[in-house]
Chains A and B, each alone.
Chain A
Amino acid sequence: MNRQPPVLQVEGLTKHFPVSGHKVVHAVDDVSFSVSRGKTLGLVGESGCGKSSCARTIIRIYEPTAGRILLDGEEISTLNQKQLLPYRKKMQMIFQDPYASLNARMTVHDIIAEPLRAHRVCSSRQEENEMVSDMLARVGLNKEHANRYAHEFSGGQRQRVGIARALILKPELVICDEPISALDVSIQAQVVNMLRHFQEELALTYLFIAHDLSMVRYVSDDVGVMYLGQLVEKCEADEIYRHPLHPYTVGLLSSIPVPNPRMAKAREKSGLEGDLPSPIDPPAGCRFHTRCPYATEQCRQEMPQLKEASSGHFVACHRIFNR
């Protein structure tokens, strides 16, 4: 049934930032994955592991250092910004910070209408007004809100404006860069529901980024775990909760607050210790070896490759394959 190419396919994506002193930040290193139509790939990892860099490179705000990005099977990593314009209609992004992602000097109407104007979708002012108010209604805001400034809204309402802006062009791929991390817990549920609702309605494909696994579970079909710029584990969402393989994933899972104290105790042992090493000088071998309880000499020397451990379950860890 799946003859058509995945909406997003990323192969060997690498993003290095040059910093002073001829050093480079290895923000994203050789990351590959694909997301097929209507599906959601959750990307998780600690703060600073390169999730945002990965997202921004895919959407081509950052120039990829290496690797290929295919949107609907078409290579977009080598296009210049002008050639990219038609593809921009197909992919949009929802940002993490609902305060910083909306221009404080623009009204909500202008913010939501910006994509329409950039791609000259509407032929008349009237049409634009209609589309904007329609979109406002879909994200649960009133028509009267259109002439207000973003700073007059609460975080949740601002994020809805951000969602409206991302969806008004009816894109195929939406990259959600921690769309709910900055929101109040009570509002997170609403926003996630809304995103799910739109996914069904518009057959959207999501790349959903989060820094912990708790929320990703409910929205994702597949989950990828990133550590220090690399993808260390990738499989179906339920599988990763049932059978986490990589020690880092196990650590991440244990850091989710658990209501059951007995379970919490059992998990305590496998919790993550230590800090993320600097991406300027990532550790040799397995990048996780500085914090891994099972690290061996081999781990310090040799970089593990992402390999299939069981059907559809990929992991990059020597321990799994040496057993």
Chain B
Amino acid sequence: MTEHTKWERVSGNEEEAERIYRKSRSFLGDVWFRFRHKPTALCGFILVLILLVFCLAGPFFTPYTYSEQNNKMASIPPLLTVYPGPEEGSYLYITQGMKLIEVDNEGNLVRQLKKKKDDNAQKRTSFVWDDDTLVYLDYSRLPNTVLDKEGNRIEVSQKKWNHTYLLGTDQLGRDILTRLMYGTRISLMVAFIAALVNMVIGIAYGGISGYLGGRTDTIMMRIVDIISTIPLTLYVILIKMCLDDGLLSIIIALSSVYWVDMARVVRGEMLSLKNQEFVLAARTIGSSTKTILLNHLIPNAMGPILVTVTMLIPSAIFMEAFMSFIGIGIAPPMASLGTMCNDATETLRTNPYQLFLPALVICVIMFAFNFVGDGLRDALDPKLKK
């Protein structure tokens, strides 16, 4: 006991020597700091924001609705090939249905001309411009063109950007830009809801399985194995078949499938976390299982969970698009990126832009979320702390 006097109480000064040396930064601040300094992640994040503005605010700025059809204006591309019209500053556009549309100097589609007579012998069709002027569409040889006042073919065409339908129309005459906005909105909504539901199911299932461990874990994971051996696509199609068409059923179908991955991720995290000393400490304290799961395990597993969710969003979007594409997704006239692609395949040769545009948006969404997910993974990895 006398030995104890060898230890004397340290003075305050020495204690000050071990003061906090790192700048105080909360966990989230830390993550944001690292996320911000990764160009691809930031780029993806900005893209996601742009997409959100596009699909949420966009529809307020277009005069069209996603379902409004205009047969006269069907399949008009964004870039018009126009010929000079009878008046100064007026142009004529030949539709795929061999009709004439008057286009003004800015590229606005003014009106569709009324057809007067089809002259089969001369292979030309006459259209009424006004009361005493006719214009002729010549289809004697390709490319089809308009005749000038002397009756000669006008061989020189001009290109004009479509100002009325910025991204053109589909084969039913619906504005593609507007449909893209609604399509993105639906795709993102389906993906977000599916991701959220998957997250909840996956965390609950994986959390319980991993935390309880032992035989419960084995049984629960075998069930997951069985579910995941059925090809995902087939499974979604089956669920979809049993339910009605529509948004809800597609969300249910997607939500009930992807949680398998999430459950695996969460379980793995639980297994490695539950033997860490802070969890043991919580158990020696006597904290309830609920507290241990909610306050200790899940917050510490949040990194991989978030990454899995952001990676899950693009695959849910793709799956939704794919289902809509093969015709078991969103029911018309509702637009989704997949149904738009599907509609476009019929006229792929003549109107490739109708497929290209929604496909491009799908690509952008997938890229954006993958970049964000990638950035999050790096940012959440505490080993990279700078």
Q: Could you list which residues of chain A lie within 8 angstroms of chain B, going by C-beta atoms? A: 56, 59, 61, 84-85, 88-89, 91-93, 95-97, 100-106, 110, 114-115, 117-119, 140, 148-149, 151-154, 156-157, 162, 165, 186-187, 189-190, 192-193, 196, 217-218, 221
Q: Which residues of B contact A165 (CB under 8 A)?
A: 281, 285
Chain A nearest CB, measured from B226 CB (Å): 24
Q: Which residues of A contact B282 (CB under 8 A)?
A: 103, 114
Interchain CB contact under 8 A, B276 and A100: yes
Residue of A93, A97, A193 touching B10 (CB-CB under 8 A): A193
Interchain CB contact under 8 A, A88 and B284: yes
Interchain CB contact under 8 A, A149 and B26: yes
CA–CA, A92 and B287, complex, Å:
12
CA–CA, A99 and B27, complex, Å:
15
Q: Which residues of B contact A89 (CB under 8 A)?
A: 286
**Chain B count of residues within 8 A CB distance of the other chain:** 38
Does B87 make an interface contact (CB < 8 A)? no
Label chain B's interface by main secondary structure. Answer: helix
Q: Could you list which residues of chain B lie within 8 angstroms of chain A, going by C-beta atoms? A: 1, 3-4, 6-10, 14-15, 18-22, 24-27, 276-278, 280-288, 291, 295-296, 299-300, 302, 382
Residue of B25, B277, B288 touching A101 (CB-CB under 8 A): B277
CA–CA, A193 and B4, complex, Å:
9
Most buried by A among B14, B18, B286: B286
Closest to B25 in A: A152
Interchain CB contact under 8 A, B4 and A218: yes
Could you name 20 residue pairs across A and B whose Cβ atoms are closer than 8 Å? A61-B284, A88-B285, A91-B284, A93-B284, A95-B280, A96-B277, A101-B281, A102-B278, A103-B278, A103-B282, A104-B300, A105-B302, A115-B286, A118-B285, A118-B287, A153-B20, A156-B18, A189-B7, A196-B7, A217-B3
CA–CA, A100 and B19, complex, Å:
20
CA–CA, A186 and B19, complex, Å:
14
CA–CA, A56 and B7, complex, Å:
29
Interchain CB contact under 8 A, B283 and A61: yes
Interchain CB contact under 8 A, B277 and A97: yes
Most buried by B among A104, A114, A162, A190: A114
Interchain CB contact under 8 A, B27 and A105: yes
Given contacts A85-B286, A104-B27, contact A93 B281 (CB under 8 A): yes
Additional A-B contacts beyond A92-B285, A190-B15, A193-B9 (20; CB < 8 A): A56-B280, A61-B280, A89-B286, A100-B276, A100-B277, A101-B281, A103-B282, A105-B27, A114-B291, A114-B295, A115-B286, A117-B287, A149-B26, A152-B24, A154-B18, A157-B18, A186-B14, A189-B10, A196-B4, A218-B6
Q: Which residues of B contact A157 (CB under 8 A)?
A: 18, 20
Residue of B14, B15, B24, B300 touching A148 (CB-CB under 8 A): B24
Q: Which residues of B contact A59 (CB under 8 A)?
A: 284
Chain A nearest CB, measured from B272 CB (Å): 12
Q: Which residues of A contact B281 (CB under 8 A)?
A: 93, 95, 101-102, 162, 165
CA–CA, A304 and B26, complex, Å:
56
Chain A nearest CB, measured from B230 CB (Å): 30
